[in-house]
Structure 1
Amino acid sequence: MDYLIPEWEKQEFVQLVFPHKNTDWACCLEKAINTFTEIAYAIARYEKVLICYEDENTVSHLKHKNFIFKKVKNNDTWARDFGAISVKTDNEVKLLDFKFNGWGLKFPANFDNQISRQIFNIHKSYNFVLEGGSIDTNGKTLLTTSKCLLEANRNYPLSKEEIETFLKKELFVNEIIWLNHGFLEGDDTDSHIDTLARFANENTILYCKCEDKNDIHYVELTKMEKELKKTGFNLIPLPLPEPKIWDNHRLPATYVNFLIINNAILLPVYEDKNDKYVYDMFCEIFPQREILPINANTLIKQHGSIHCITKEYFSDTLK
């Protein structure tokens, strides 16, 4: 059977792209490297970690038998969005390389768009913009947002119907759920699904819920919840963290941006009153996996979290 591989299948390694002084992390580079390092060592307890870097000085401290190093030139560090997408076809894992254009031409992406072709054995490349954070799957169903996939600087003039037909064919999915509502203030991605709603297993979706009617997110996330209730999946709401403010703007903190790895989950936490509640929830939802809380307050300063900076792979596809 041909299918888009869900995150919970057995992984070979997870990719990280380390920050350096010429990335947007320059404002908090030491703290960013510390967070990336913590994540790298957490993953290495369970599987290999592919560490891509531009500046040797940012990774010279990293020592572990599960670390694999690749030197590449990079604009930024969001491996989720410029990384290759894994499908299973003809009983083999194959990598698909889609175009990355800096979230609809918002940021430079000339180097990031080349990374996958430089380091992986790519089965097929497309002149179609698709970021890994814009889709989520249980293997059969694709979950996405219309704000992102239909945004004018991605794949215009393709219609929604044309995009759906293309994705079903190339990603081997039977159904696409388009969410027309939901956003996080401070998000640069035009509502990536991996900040809003994610599959926990074949039948269950975790999603952001806002209880505060005075919060800017309340109306949109309530409308998103109504859309999700029409899907027929089991739904588990996750609270929004309290507002996190930096440089006079609100940051897109979300518990939905977790990473599933072999036998564990990396859960973003924010020194927030909801952290313990969400940790306990994850222990119940994923009883077979160890839950590893990671402080993501530095990551959200650049408007992403744990899932955004990581990309999982399911076979040895390195050149």
Structure 2
Amino acid sequence: MKMTQDTTAKATRRLPAEWEPQSFLQLTFPHANSDWEYMLDEATRCFVDIIDAARPYQQVLVVCDDIKRVRSFFNDTENLCFTEAPLNDTWARDHGGITVLEAGKAIVQDYIFNGWGNKFEAGLDNQITSQLFNQRLLQNCSLESFDFVLEGGSIESDGKGTILTTSDCLLEKNRNPHYSKQEIENILLTNFGAERVLWLDNGYLAGDDTDSHIDTLARLCNEDTIAYVGCNHPEDEHYDALQKMKLELQQLQKADGTPYRLVELPFPDACFDSEGNRLPATYANFTIINKAVLVPVYGVSQDEDAVEILASCFPERKIIPVNCRVLIEQHGSLHCVTMQYPEAVKLKS
């Protein structure tokens, strides 16, 4: 773990924390011409469950291939907004816009999404944010585009100048090969108006395509608390890396020099696909929305404990478990398929 500061960062710009008031949640709906084709019915049910869990609390923007088809999965359209766009896949956290606030105004930042280091085709998904602006769906905000690869799942913000990330992802050679670590850090500091970047050098999940996104491993629950994936079974392949990550987290300090409150999440029983490959189940991939937290569960014995632990982290929010076993078949989970927009951004009525 290394922590550095840059006093040149824009003092008026900041990246809101996920727990701040939101306007809407974006999801990109599964379709047949994607990797979900062989299990489309199961994936569809999961996405409907997520959307139905979220929409009592705020609007949900559903990006899809066919509005008529997707609308048919819902009994009503209260708090739902549908739009069509050409799509590759469904991972809105990584192809969605990242919204910053500057002098009270919202700026939706559009970074390059290249399929997690050119692992998968992502050219269509990379255009979704600009298409939302072309359709004039996003109101009360401006668009800022960058020739830089960055996925929303790779960063966490406390809303007050701290960015938490992983070196395995941001320094991966197929993302921004011409930038040094210091140059990448300076981009984060400047673009997000941050004061410091906290880097984790350890931690991974078998079956993960993202090169250790922070949202699969360690999450800020508030400016004082980090919930992280623990592994206390020496025989498990994750044991060494996650124990080292735990030690790194214990060394982190808040901006005032005091340690974070660390909350360990259980490690789910191993889940495998039909070919015996281990899948990246994680309880850290929860999504914070207005007055609630959507928590992925997987039909394993640790689900109940994970829900109770996260309830202690969010005592003023309703904890809503959503079965996301199908999502890990494509190597992501609940937070990976959602992207929140702060209350300053409005959806066209």
TM-score (norm: length of structure 1): 0.98
Question: Which stretch has the larger CA shift, 267-276 or 187-196?
Answer: 267-276
Q: 1:246 aligns with which of 273, 276, 280?
A: 273
Give the structure 2 partner of residue 138 of structure 1: 158
Give the structure 2 partner of residue 262 of structure 1: 290
**Is 1:167–2:188 an aligned residue pair?**
yes
Runs of 4+ displaced beyond 4 Å: none
* 1:118-151 Cα distance to aligned partner (Å, 9 max, x none): 1035421000000000111111211111111001
Give the structure 2 partner of residue 293 of structure 1: 321
Closer, same or farther: CA 52–67 of 1 in aligned 2, 3 Å: same
Give the structure 2 partner of residue 151 of structure 1: 172
Question: Which stretch has the larger CA shift, 125-134 or 227-236?
Answer: 227-236
Shift of 1:259: 0.3
* 1:28-70 Cα distance to aligned partner (Å, 9 max, x none): 1001000000111110110000011003423322222100011
- Are the counterparts in 1 of residues 106 and 345 from structure 2 also a CA contact under 8 Å? no
Three-state SS of the structure 2 residue aligned to 1:12 is: strand
* 1:245-289 Cα distance to aligned partner (Å, 9 max, x none): 112101000000000000000001111111111111122221110
Shift of 1:317: 4.5
Give the structure 2 partner of residue 23 of structure 1: 34
- Cα distance in 2 for residues equivalent to 1:225 and 1:68: 41
- Cα distance in 1 for residues equivalent to 2:250 and 2:205: 20
Shift of 1:318: 4.6
- Are the counterparts in 2 of residues 87 and 96 from structure 1 also a CA contact under 8 Å? yes
- Cα distance in 1 for residues equivalent to 2:101 and 2:304: 37
Q: 1:305 aligns with which of 298, 308, 333?
A: 333
Correspondence 1:34-45 to 2 at 5 A: 34-45=45-56
**Is 1:52–2:63 an aligned residue pair?**
yes
Question: Which stretch has the larger CA shift, 118-127 or 250-259?
Answer: 118-127
Give the structure 2 partner of residue 83 of structure 1: 96
Amino acid aligned to 1:88: L
- Are the counterparts in 2 of residues 19 and 58 from structure 1 also a CA contact under 8 Å? no
Give the structure 2 partner of residue 224 of structure 1: 245
- Identity between Structure 1 and Structure 2 (%): 47
- Cα distance in 2 for residues equivalent to 1:136 and 1:195: 11
Aligned residue-pair number: 319
**Is 1:316–2:345 an aligned residue pair?**
yes
Give the structure 2 partner of residue 237 of structure 1: 264
Gaps of 5+ in 2: 1-11, 254-259
* 1:213-239 Cα distance to aligned partner (Å, 9 max, x none): 000000000111111111022111111
- Are the counterparts in 2 of residues 141 and 174 from structure 1 also a CA contact under 8 Å? yes
TM-score (norm: length of structure 2): 0.89
- Are the counterparts in 1 of residues 189 and 195 from structure 2 also a CA contact under 8 Å? yes
* 1:287-316 Cα distance to aligned partner (Å, 9 max, x none): 110000000100110011110000000133
Three-state SS of the structure 2 residue aligned to 1:123 is: strand
**Is 1:100–2:127 an aligned residue pair?**
no
- Cα distance in 2 for residues equivalent to 1:92 and 1:85: 14
- Are the counterparts in 1 of residues 87 and 125 from structure 2 also a CA contact under 8 Å? yes
- Are the counterparts in 2 of residues 134 and 148 from structure 1 also a CA contact under 8 Å? yes
Three-state SS of the structure 1 residue aligned to 2:175 is: helix
